[in-house]
């Protein structure tokens, strides 16, 4: 039996009981729940990851919905417990839901929410930030300065690479991948090669238009190409940014063999999901190729890194902060809370999960809808006509 976990209770006399497995940023999400007759219980346990047993204890005998985190294992056991307690909804405070067994949720009739739309810009921005930091060796230089080693200007100190004219490779040209590609192409005049199962017409049109603009101004136009295979991107690109969804087909997408296909001085960025890269193989590759650089926001077994990674100078490692801007995280908390609240109240599902601005406007009441339910179709939930 799990030890009792510490909780903070809001609106104790509320009609609906909703549990949040972690304190979340901001207060708007709390206010929205308690204004709608919700008794909110926030787990304040100082633990990075709650176990299944911990969460079952939190759910208890009566629970209408749970707001959880990407680090939790939401499978048969938890959905069974939530359903028994009368629960109708679970929402991740994340876009991804590879921690959720959606089939199990369907079996128990539990709606699964996520928080897309609010993350596109900020995640693409972090991928671009990691790209720049790696290309210009910012983290290494900063460490050098802090160690008090700067005793005069030297031309060979942390010589990086100019981005202009290089090729950026994007694997997965969905919302985030495309936003990142646009930043790098327009901002740094990089050429683009991308791989996606689907053609990204909007991205292609954008790069074509930008190339025409450059040409009209007497500058070298940028180019784009949709690769027939992922390996083509790996072989041709100077910078590769990974933006696929994580599923069986993308697990260890970047492995020892694929790393070997990349340029010796390539830069690899991952702000998607950790298991997309075989991290142990990456550590070995970085050790044997000191000019190869990597920027990682996600890891295979968070919150741990594979042995040796933290010691490598040609790796930049940050603790899953792609969404770590105040506006974004507060927005995610709001969307996750409204997913659960909407289902509890019997609201329909919002017509477009990527157009969530009306839910984030602090000066207006949010629409009476669930912002994003990933299994809405499977559960036969109605859609908002707004």
Q: Which residues bind other proteins (CB under 8 A)?
A: 22, 25, 46-48, 121-122, 125-126, 128-130, 132-133, 135-136, 138-139, 141-146, 148, 150-155, 157-164, 182-183, 186-188, 302-305, 310, 316-321, 324-329
* Catalytic residue list contains 17: no
Q: Which of 258, 293, 320, 329 is flagged as catalytic?
A: 320
* Catalytic residue list contains 53: no
- 150 versus 351: smaller Cβ distance to other proteins: 150
Q: Which of 273, 285, 293, 329 is flagged as catalytic?
A: 273
- 312 versus 379: smaller Cβ distance to other proteins: 312
Nearest-angstrom CA–CA distance, 203 and 201: 5
- 38 versus 333: smaller Cβ distance to other proteins: 333
Q: 52 — phi, psi (to 5°)?
A: -60, -40
- 310 versus 386: smaller Cβ distance to other proteins: 310
Residue in 341, 365, 359 with CA at minimum distance from that of residue 34: 341
Which residues are CB-neighbours of 286 under 8 A, at least 6 positions away? 292, 294, 309, 312, 314, 315
Which residues are CB-neighbours of 199 under 8 A, at least 6 positions away? 226
Task: Classify the phi-psi angles of 4: left when phi > 0, otherwise alpha if psi is within -120 to 50, otherwise beta.
Answer: beta
Shortest Cβ distance from residue 254 to other proteins (Å)? 20
Nearest-angstrom CA–CA distance, 360 and 353: 13
- CA torsion, ordered 231, 232, 234, 237, to nearest 10 deg: -170
* Catalytic residue list contains 243: no
Contact call for residues 93 and 71 (beta carbons, < 8 A): no
Q: Which of 77, 186, 232, 302 is flagged as catalytic?
A: 302
Shortest Cβ distance from residue 160 to other proteins (Å)? 5
Three-state SS string over 226-269 comes to: ECCCHHHHHHHCCEEEECCCCCCCCCCCECHHHHHHCCCCCEEE
What size, in residues, is the chain?
386
Nearest-angstrom CA–CA distance, 163 and 154: 22
Shortest Cβ distance from residue 17 to other proteins (Å)? 24
Shortest Cβ distance from residue 106 to other proteins (Å)? 29
Nearest-angstrom CA–CA distance, 230 and 254: 10
Shortest Cβ distance from residue 258 to other proteins (Å)? 25
- 158 versus 251: smaller Cβ distance to other proteins: 158
- 23 versus 109: smaller Cβ distance to other proteins: 23
Shortest Cβ distance from residue 305 to other proteins (Å)? 8
Q: Which residue numbers are catalytic? A: 273, 302, 320
């Amino acid at each position: 039996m799990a030890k009792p976990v510490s909780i903070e209770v809001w609106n104790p006399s509320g009609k609906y009981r909703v549990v949040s497995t972690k304190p979340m940023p901001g207060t708007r999400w709390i206010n929205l729940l308690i204004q709608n007759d919700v008794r909110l219980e926030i787990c304040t346990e100082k633990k990075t990851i709650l176990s299944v047993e911990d969460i079952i204890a939190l759910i208890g005998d009566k629970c209408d919905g749970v707001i959880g985190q990407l680090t939790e294992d939401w499978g048969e056991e938890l959905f069974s417990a939530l359903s028994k307690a009368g629960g109708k909804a679970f929402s991740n405070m994340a876009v991804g839901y590879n921690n959720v067994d959606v089939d199990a949720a369907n079996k128990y009739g539990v709606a699964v929410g996520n928080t897309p739309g609010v993350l596109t810009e900020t995640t693409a921005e972090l991928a671009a930030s990691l790209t720049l930091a790696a290309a210009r060796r910012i983290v290494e230089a900063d460490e050098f300065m802090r160690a008090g080693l700067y005793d005069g200007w030297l031309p060979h100190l942390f010589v990086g690479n100019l981005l202009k004219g290089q090729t950026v490779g994007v694997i997965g040209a969905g919302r985030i991948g495309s936003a990142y590609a646009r930043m790098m192409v327009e901002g740094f005049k990089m050429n683009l090669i991308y791989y996606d199962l689907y053609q990204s017409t909007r991205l292609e049109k954008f790069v074509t238009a930008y190339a025409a603009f450059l040409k009209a101004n007497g500058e070298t136009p940028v180019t784009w190409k949709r690769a027939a295979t992922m390996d083509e991107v790996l072989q041709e690109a100077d910078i590769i940014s990974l933006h696929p969804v994580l599923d069986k087909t993308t697990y260890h997408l970047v492995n020892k063999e694929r790393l070997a296909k990349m340029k010796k001085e390539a830069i690899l960025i991952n702000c998607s999901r950790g298991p997309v890269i075989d991290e142990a193989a990456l550590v070995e590759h970085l050790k044997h190729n000191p000019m190869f650089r990597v920027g990682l926001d996600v890891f295979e077994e968070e919150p741990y890194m594979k042995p040796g990674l933290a010691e490598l100078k040609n790796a930049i490692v940050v603790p899953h902060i792609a969404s770590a801007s105040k506006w974004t995280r507060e927005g995610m908390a709001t969307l996750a809370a409204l997913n659960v609240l909407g289902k509890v109240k019997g609201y329909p599902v919002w017509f477009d999960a990527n157009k969530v601005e009306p839910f984030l406007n602090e000066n207006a009441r949010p629409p009476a809808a669930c912002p994003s339910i990933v299994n809405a179709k499977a559960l036969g939930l109605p859609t908002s006509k707004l």
